[in-house]
Chain A
Amino acid sequence: MMEDQALGWFATIGRMAMQVWPVWLGMAVIFGLSIRFKRRLGLYGKLFDSTVGMIGYAIVLFWVLVAVFASLIITHDPLAQVAIMKNAAPGSPTGLEDGYPYYLLGGDALARDVFSRMVMGAREVLKIAPAAALVAYAVGICLGLPAGYLGGWWDDVLSFIANLVLAFPVILLFFLLVTPEIQQTGIPNGMAAILFAIPLVLMALMIHSRFVTQPARRNLWLAILAIVGIWAYAGLVFDADPLGVWRMPPNLLNVFIAVVFVNAPTVFRIVRGITMDIKNRDYVAAAQTRGESGAYIMLWEIMPNARGPLIVDFCLRIGYTTILLGTLGFFGLGVSPESPDWGSTINQGRRLLTAYPHAALAPALALMMLVLGLNLLADGLREESLKD
C-alpha cells in the first residue's frame, strides 16, 4: 500500500503548477495580447504601465482562470472521500489504482482532497462576489445619485437609512438575515424583489432620458430591456425562469442578498460624495440650462464622470465581498455543509488547526491571495487613472 512515497514540497508544488496548465496558457495569451495593444485599451491598457497593477491583475486573473477551468484542474471529486486520507499530509499518495495518485495538499477531516476543494472553492467565490458587488453598485448608484444631486429631504432620508445599516455590526446582520428560518419567511425573496428591481429601473431610466426626444428608438430599447430584464428577474427572484438559465438556490440567494445589503450603503456614500462634487461643474449647469431632466443629468452627465473612483472602489469591493463571503462560511451561515467555498473550509479546518493546519491553511492562503490581488489591482488602477 505504501509503494508510493509521499511527495516532497518541491515535487508537490511542481505538480500543482503542472495541474493548473490551462491557467498559465490563458494568462500568457491574455497578457500577450494586452501588452501588445495596451495603448489602444484605455485605462485597462495603462494598467500594464504600473508594476503594482500588473502584479495585482496577474493574481486576479490567475484565480479567475482557476475558477473558469476548475473542472479541468481538479484532481479528485471535491466531495469524494478516500478513507485512509483522513487528515493526510500534503503530497500523500492515495494508494488507489485509478485517479490521480496523490492528494497534493493533503486530506481534510472527512478525507477529501484539499487541493480540489480549494480549486472548486475559487469557482464558488468568484460566482458570487463580483455579481454581488455589481448589484450593490447598481443600488448604491441608484440611491446615491439623487441623494447627492437633489439633496434636501431625499438626501436626509436616504442618508439616515444608509447610516442605520452601517451602524449595524455586519456579523449581527448576517446572523439575523442569513438563517434557514429567515428563508422560510420569504424575507430574502422580498428583499431580492426590491434589490434586483433597482438595476432594471436604473437601465430603464438611462434609456428613457437618453432618447427622450426620439420616442421610437426609446421604445425599442425599453422593449428589449423589458424582455431580458423580466426574464432574469423572474428567474432570480421567484425561481420562475421557464428556461432555467437564471436561477439561484434559496440559500445562495439569501447569502447574495445579505452581501448586497451590507455593501450598498457604502457605495451609496461614495456615489453621493462624488455626485455632490460633480454637480457643481459647469457642464452640469449647461445641461440644466438647456432644460435636461434630472435623470439625464444624473445618469449621463454625472455618472460617466464618476467612473474613475468607482472602478477603483469596485475592485476593492469585490475583495471585501470575498472577505464577507468567507465570514459567512466561517460561521457556517447560508452554505451547505459540503460546499467547498473557502470560508466554510476554513471553518471546518480550524477545529484541528493546531494538529493539522494544512486543511484550513490552503483556502486561507487562497483567499488572502485573491483579496491581495484585487487590492493591488485597485491600487494600480488608481495610480494610473490619476496620471494625465
Chain B
Amino acid sequence: MVDPRDPTATEPDAFDPRWGASQEPSLGPSAEPGPALGAGIGPDRADEAEAARSSAAETPPARDDRAAPAGAGNGDDPVLEIENLSISFFTRLREIPAVMDFSVKVMPGEAVGLVGESGCGKSTVALGVMQDLGVNGRIVGGSVRFKGRDMGSMSQSELRQIRGSQIAMIYQEPMASLNPAMRVGDQLAEVPMIHEGMARKEALAMARQVVADVRLPDPDRILRAYPHQLSGGQQQRIVIAMALMSKPALLILDEPTTALDVTVEAGIVDLVKDLGRKYGTSMLFISHNLGLILETCDRICVMYSGEAVETGSVDDVFDRMRHPYTQALFRSIPLPGANKNSRPLVPIRGNFPLPHERPQGCNFGPRCDHFVDGVCNVTDIPMEPVPGDDRHNTRCIRFDEIDWDAPPAHQAATEETPIGNVVLRLEDVKKYYHVSPGMFSGGDGQVVKANEALSFDARSGETLAIVGESGCGKSTLAKVLMGLETATSGNIMLYDQSIQNTPIEKRGTDTVSSVQMVFQNPFDTLNPSMSVGRQIVRALEIFGTARTDAERHQRMLELLDLVKLPRAFAERMPRQLSGGQKQRVGIARAFAGGAKVVVADEPVSALDVSVQAAVTQLLMDIQREHGTTLLFISHDLSVVRYLADRVLVMYLGHVVEIGSTEQVFAPPYHPYTEALLSAVPIADTAVEKRKIVLEGDIPSAMNPPPGCPFQTRCPWKDRVPGNRCETQMPPMRRMAGGHEIKCHLSDEEFASMRPVFSRAPEAAE
C-alpha cells in the first residue's frame, strides 16, 4: 500500500520504488549527423579520438545559436551554481541526509547530465534547486545560486516568479504531471498569463505556436484535448511545451523519457536537443541512463549515495573516468563489445548503502575493488580536480594511484552453453481477445488481435529474446505459454505434448513446474505478507518436489544457495529485501520445480544497472548449469544483444523479424528493427550510430492499421511500389541462415541497407 500521503513520498529519489522503475541500461551513441548538444565542447579537446568524433558530431555554429538568446548578460557567468549543497529529510526517528556536499555549475546554453542509480539523490538535487522539498526536506548546507542570486534567501513570491518563467521542470511521468481535469490549452496558457500577465487569447495563440514547435500534429485539436486523450509521447511533448512557454533560462529534466517506449524516447530526445538549441536553454538532465546522457549532454556529474563522485565533460568522464564507481558502472552495463561468455559483465558487488547506514569515509568503499583500509575509510573524501582535464573532478582519494586501464579483476570467461533439442515449438499461434462493450448494450464487441501467427521454436540451453515495445503482444504470448490464457488457434508443443488449449488448472504438475515465469516488477513479485522461505516452500509443495517438511526446508535452502542469497533470508519478509534480492527470490521460486522453460518478462528492467548485471549473470549461470530454455522478453536491445542466442522482434502482435542475434543486429534489417536499434542510446563514445527517428506513436492494438502493421511509421515505405504496404500483409521472407523478415521490400533494397552501428576506427580494438 503505497499511499500518496506518505510523507516520505515527497522525497522520491531516496525511497520511492517507482523512481527505479523501468530502466534501460545504457549503451551510448554519439549522434551521427547533425549537431548534438552532447558533442559541443569547446576547442580545448586534445584527444585524437575525440577530435575524430567531433568532426562528425560537432557543428560549432549551433553552439553560438544557443548561447545567444540564453545570454543573460555575460556568457561566462553560470546560469546555475550549486555549491556544497546538502539536503536532509527529517523523519520522526532521524535525519536522513539525501544529498551531501554537492556542487555543480551550469553555464549558459550548456547541458549538464546528472547520472546515478535510484536513491542516489539526483532528483532531490532538482527539487533542491526549485526550493520545493516538501515539509520534511530541508537544505542544511551550501547554496543554490541562479544567475548569481541565492535562491535560498528568496521569498516565496520571488521564487514563484522564477519558477516556470526562468527555471522549468519536466518530469518522468507525463500523465501524472498534467492536470487531468484541465484542457491542455489552458494548462499551457497559464504560464504566460501568470508570468507575463498576458491575456488569455494571446496566451492561447502562443500555446498553439509552441505546440507546433514540439512537433505535434493538429495543434488546435491538441489544445482542446484533455491529457488522457493524448498518448504518452504526446503528453510528454506537452509537458515540454509547457516548460518552454516562457523561454526559461534553465530547464530541469528529471528522467523525462523513462516512462516511454524506446522509439518514442528517441523522438523526445531529438526534440529536446533541437529545442535546447533553438531556445538557447541551459539544461540539467537527470537520468540513470548513461547512453542518454552521452546523447544529450555536454557535461556529466555522476552521483553515488548522495554525493557527486565525478564531474567533468562527457568525453573526459566516458573515456578517462577517474572514479571506481564510474568505472564499475560502465563495466556493469552491456556495451556492444560485451559478450556473455567471453566478456561477461562485471556486477558491482554488495548493495547500495541506506542513507543512514553510510560507511565512514568513501561511500563506495565497501563495494570498491581499489579499497584500501586505513586510507579510504578514515575521513570524508573531498572532490579533487583531475590534472590536465577541463573541470574534471573526482571524489576518490586514490585516483592517481589506480591503474585505470587494467582489465577487471574478476572477469571470468565461461564456456558457451551447448544448445540441445527443441523443447518448445509454436506453430501459427494466434490469440484474439473479444472486448465486449458491456452488459446491456447489444452488438458485437471488438476483436483485439494480440498475437498473429506466431511460429518459432526454442531449444534447451538456448536464450530466445522476444523484443518489442508496449502493445506488441509479448506479454500475451507469455500468458498463452503459461496457460493463463488459451490460444485462439495454432499449436504449442512442449516436448511432445500440445498445450495450446490446456489452461493452467488442467495442466499436470509436471507441465506446470517445467514452464515457469520470472516477473518484471521486483516490488510486486513476492507476496508482501509471507516470508521468503514460506513462499519458496509453497512452490515446492505445489510442485510435489519433496515429501516431508524437512526435505522441503532443505530444498528451499538449496534454492537460496542457487540464487546466491544467504540462507538467513528464509526468515525475512519481502519488505526487508532490496529489489535485486527480491528478483533472486523470484528466480528461486521459478526453479523450485526444476523448470525446463523459463519465461522471463523484463526481469531486470526495473532494477538499477549495477544490479541488472548481477541478476542477468545469475540467470545465465543457472541456465548453463541446468540447460534451461530461457525466453527473455525485453524492450532493451542492449541486454538482448548481450545475452540472447536468437532474437524475435514483435510489433503489434506480429513477428516482424526472427534470427540469430548476429543476423538481427546486422543488415538486412526489418525497418522496425532498424529504427529500434537506432533508438537505443549507447554509452560508448566510440560507437557511431545512424539516427532514425520514427514519426508518431505506436498504433493501438484495438485498431491496427491495414496492411503491414508498421506502415504508419515506416521510413522505407516509399521504396515499395504501389500501395502494397497499406493493403497487403507482407509475407515472411526467408533470408540466409534461417533469418526471417516480414516485409515487402525487395532483395535489392535489403542488400542496400547499411549497418546502424559502426565503430569509429580510432577506437577499434
Contact = CB atoms under 8 A, between A and B. Distances in A.
Interface of A: 49, 156, 213-214, 281-283, 285-293, 300-301, 304-305, 307-309, 385-388
Contacts of A49: 92
B6 to A, nearest CB: 5
A214 B7 CA distance: 45
Interface of B: 1, 3, 5-8, 92, 439, 482-484, 504-505, 507, 509, 512-513, 515-517, 519-521, 524-530, 539, 541-544, 586, 589, 593
A292 B504 CA distance: 9
A49 B91 CA distance: 13
B512 A282 contact: no
A289 B3 contact: no
Contact of B527 (A289, A301, A308): A301
Given A290-B542, A291-B505, A282 B1 contact: no
A16 B525 CA distance: 56
Nearest to A302: B527
B354 to A, nearest CB: 13
B589 to A, nearest CB: 7
Contact of B513 (A283, A290, A388): A290
A56 to B, nearest CB: 19
16 contacts: A213-B542, A281-B524, A282-B519, A283-B527, A283-B528, A285-B484, A285-B519, A289-B482, A289-B484, A289-B504, A290-B512, A290-B513, A290-B539, A304-B527, A309-B1, A386-B3
A81 B45 CA distance: 104
A303 to B, nearest CB: 9
A305 B528 CA distance: 7
Contact of B542 (A156, A281, A291, A385): A291
Contacts of A283: 524-528
Contacts of A286: 517, 519, 525, 586, 589
A126 B92 CA distance: 35
A156 B439 contact: yes
Given A286-B586, A286-B589, A290-B516, A307 B543 contact: no
A293 to B, nearest CB: 8
A290 B543 contact: yes
Nearest to B539: A290
A386 B509 contact: no
A371 B693 CA distance: 63
A385 B3 CA distance: 10
Q: Is the interface of A mostly helix, strand, loop or mixed?
A: helix
A-B complex: 7 closest residue pairs judged by Cβ atoms: A282-B519, A304-B529, A282-B524, A386-B3, A291-B512, A283-B527, A282-B525
B517 A386 contact: no
Nearest to B5: A386
A251 B525 CA distance: 50
Contacts of A305: 527-529
Contact of B504 (A156, A288, A301, A388): A288
Given A287-B527, A304-B529, 7 more contacts: A283-B524, A288-B484, A289-B484, A290-B516, A290-B542, A292-B542, A386-B1
A307 B529 CA distance: 10
Contacts of A287: 527
Contacts of B521: 282
A285 B530 contact: no
A213 B527 contact: no
Given A291-B505, A291-B509, A387-B6, A214 B541 contact: yes
A58 to B, nearest CB: 21
Contacts of A290: 512-513, 516, 539, 542-543, 593
B139 to A, nearest CB: 24
A305 B529 CA distance: 6
Contacts of B484: 285, 288-289
A274 to B, nearest CB: 9
Contacts of B512: 289-291
Contacts of B509: 291
A61 B705 CA distance: 66
Given A286-B525, A387-B6, A308 B1 contact: yes
Nearest to A387: B6
A225 to B, nearest CB: 21
B161 to A, nearest CB: 35
A286 B483 CA distance: 12
